[in-house]
Amino acid sequence: MVACDRLCTIFVQFCPKGNPSRPNAPPSHLPRGGVASPFERPDVRSALHQPRLRVSTALRLSDCVTTPLYNIKAVVQATGISPSTLRAWERRYNMCRPQRSENGYRLYTERDVSVIRWLKTQVDAGMSISQAVAWLENLARESGGMAQVVLPAGTGNAPRLGAPPARQRGQTRDVDTLRQELLCALLDYDEEAANQVIAEAFALYPVEQLGENLFQAISAEIDQRGQAGALNRIAGHFASTYLRQRLAALLRALPTHANRPLLWVACAPAEPREIGALLLGIYLRRAGYRVHYLEPLVPVAERDDSASASDFVAELIDEMQRRQPAMAIFSASTQAAAEALAELTARLPAPHSGKQRPLIGYGGPIFNRRPDLRSAIAGVYLGDCAQCVAQQASQRLLARQPSRLEA
């Protein structure tokens, strides 16, 4: 016989009956590491095809069993949280304290699983993890302890509480610390450690905070060390490739917004750094725009071949005229890239046959260091960082096409 476990308040879960002589012990036929994932049980495979049950009513934590039964794999399957994120939350916020089995496995209670699932629901709805934990702690204070908390149903009902500052909490590591750990892991070719730092960073901070302070800061330090001859070029290439790949994966995972105005985002011709353009694409997609991100416009192998590069730019202009994006935005960080962008915009044809000349936007740190370069580009300067460019581009588009953007 299979009895319905109390975890059905969160997802459909099943557990066999326990040992009558040890009412609080795990069933004798299960592994010592705790309850195996229900997805491995043949008698519940049919439940996999059913939609997961969401919490639709408030949940009293006092109704949840406090016997540590569930290993981390079962918790991951039940809540949808990744193991690295779960460990980061435990380490930084102490939102649950799993016990250890005889073999050293983490064991979680039903109450732990309920809290984890509720926190993840709030984060998925747009709340930061620090805000969700602050809300939970406030509920515990008002209720006289965590055991008496009634977890509110749904999301978005948190009081306007400011999360305790990281230094007061004494546990959350700041972005500077995470940046140094990530850089060391990458230069040591330790991809697993880098993945763990990235998972922790995204569990604790919004991508807008990590963009410039983590990804671009590491990219800039790699460039500086490389130019000073203080960095092995192969290690620097590995680190830069890792950062680009992580941002490209994040961009692909975001909604495409098929019915929204089309924006093109690309590096300027001859631009060697891609991080800024990738971040810009991410910010604009998160803002609700349909973004087509273009790989570096002139392939590395063709940058020294002026005829080939010119042909490539000509194809870009033809495609821009055909597709008519609401705006094409280019990122540049070097003088060579800024000058190449000026040449590109000079070659754009005047409006004809009912087709408008595409609106060109551009940005990057070079235009802050060399403001004189802006005058040669037939476009709109939007700022020197990805967030500034995204904000200014949105304002320009709203002024130009308010009805389409507000639909």
Question: Which of the two residues, 141 and 308, has the higher pLDDT score?
Answer: 141
Q: Are 53 and 11 in contact (CB under 8 A)?
A: yes
Examine the pLDDT at 407 and tell me if it is beyond 90. Answer: no
Examine the pLDDT at 129 and tell me if it is beyond 50. Answer: yes
Examine the pLDDT at 244 and tell me if it is beyond 90. Answer: yes
**Per-residue confidence band for 182, with pLDDT thresholds at 50, 70 and 90:** very high
Tally the C-alpha atoms within 13 A of residue 224's C-alpha that lie toward its C-beta.
Answer: 6
**Per-residue confidence band for 155, with pLDDT thresholds at 50, 70 and 90:** low
Give the Cα separation of 175 and 127 in Å (integer): 19
Examine the pLDDT at 18 and tell me if it is beyond 60. Answer: no
Out of 15-29, 67-81, 263-277, pick the least confident.
15-29
Examine the pLDDT at 101 and tell me if it is beyond 50. Answer: yes
Question: Which of the two residues, 231 and 364, has the higher pLDDT score?
Answer: 364
Examine the pLDDT at 63 and tell me if it is beyond 60. Answer: yes
Examine the pLDDT at 133 and tell me if it is beyond 80. Answer: yes
Average pLDDT over residues 114-120: 90
**Per-residue confidence band for 103, with pLDDT thresholds at 50, 70 and 90:** confident
Examine the pLDDT at 15 and tell me if it is beyond 50. Answer: no
Query: Which tens digit of pLDDT belongs to each residue from 359-374?
Result: 899 999 999 999 999 9
Give me the residue spans of the domains in the chain.
2-157, 175-247, 256-405
Examine the pLDDT at 355 and tell me if it is beyond 90. Answer: no
Question: Which of the two residues, 366 and 48, has the higher pLDDT score?
Answer: 366
Q: What is the DSSP track for 4-52?
A: EPGGGGTS--EEE--BTTBTTSPPTTS-TTSBPPGGG-GGGGGGGGSPP
Give the Cα separation of 258 and 271 in Å (integer): 28
Average pLDDT over residues 124-130: 77
Q: Report the residue count for the chain.
A: 407
Supply the CATH classification number for the domain 175-247. Answer: 1.10.1240.10
Degrees to nearest 5, angle at CA 350 with 341 and 358? 55
CATH of 2-157 among 3.40.50.620, 3.40.50.2300, 1.10.1660.10, 3.40.309.10:
1.10.1660.10
Query: Which tens digit of pLDDT belongs to each residue from 309-340?
Result: 567 777 888 888 788 899 999 999 999 999 99
pLDDT given for residue 371 in this prediction: 94
Tally the C-alpha atoms within 13 A of residue 268's C-alpha that lie toward its C-beta.
Answer: 27
**Per-residue confidence band for 341, with pLDDT thresholds at 50, 70 and 90:** very high
Average pLDDT, the chain: 77
pLDDT given for residue 159 in this prediction: 42
Which pair of tokens denotes residue 30? Answer: 């299960």
Q: Would you say the CATH fold of 256-405 matches that of 175-247? A: no
Question: Which residues lie below 8 Å from residue 330, measured CB to CB, with a gap of 6+?
Answer: 266, 267, 268, 271, 277, 341, 344, 360, 361, 362, 363, 379
Give the Cα separation of 266 and 83 in Å (integer): 35
**Per-residue confidence band for 94, with pLDDT thresholds at 50, 70 and 90:** confident
Average pLDDT over residues 142-161: 68
Give the Cα separation of 89 and 325 in Å (integer): 42
Q: Quick one: which of 81, 79, 89 has its CA closest to 201?
A: 89
**Per-residue confidence band for 220, with pLDDT thresholds at 50, 70 and 90:** very high
How would you classify the pairing of strands 360-363 and 327-331? Answer: parallel
Q: Are 99 and 107 in contact (CB under 8 A)?
A: yes
Examine the pLDDT at 50 and tell me if it is beyond 70. Answer: no
Examine the pLDDT at 17 and tell me if it is beyond 50. Answer: no
Examine the pLDDT at 132 and tell me if it is beyond 70. Answer: yes
Q: What's the longest Cα–Cα distance across the chain?
A: 87
User: What are phi and psi for residue 266, nearest 5 degrees?
Assistant: -155, 160
**Per-residue confidence band for 38, with pLDDT thresholds at 50, 70 and 90:** very low
Architecture of domain 256-405: 3-Layer(aba) Sandwich (3.40)
pTM for the complete prediction?
Answer: 0.57
Give the Cα separation of 297 and 317 in Å (integer): 11
Average pLDDT over residues 393-404: 74
